[in-house]
Amino acid sequence: PPYELPANKTRMTIRSKTHKGDGFNELRFEDEKGQEEIFVQAEKDSQILA
């Protein structure tokens, strides 16, 4: 897992690694009551379509 357990047991993460590089993209959901959030990290560019 990208984050240590059990400290981050309420966190679900999808993380990819940059091909032939050190970067990454990440989509993370925190589901702890009162601390819910969605986190998005793009190594270079980000596009959001609503």
Hunting for tokens 């959001």 — which residue is that? 48
Q: What is the pLDDT of residues 14-50, one digit of tens each?
A: 999 999 999 999 999 999 999 999 999 999 999 989 8
Instruction: Give the pLDDT band (50/70/90) at residue 1.
Output: confident
Per-residue pLDDT, 31? 98
Phi/psi for 8 (5° steps) reads -115, 35
Q: Say what the pTM is.
A: 0.81
Q: Is the dihedral of CA 36, 42, 2, 50 positive or negative?
A: positive
Domain ranges of the chain: 11-41
More confidently predicted of 35 and 2: 35
Higher-scoring residue by pLDDT: 40, 1: 40
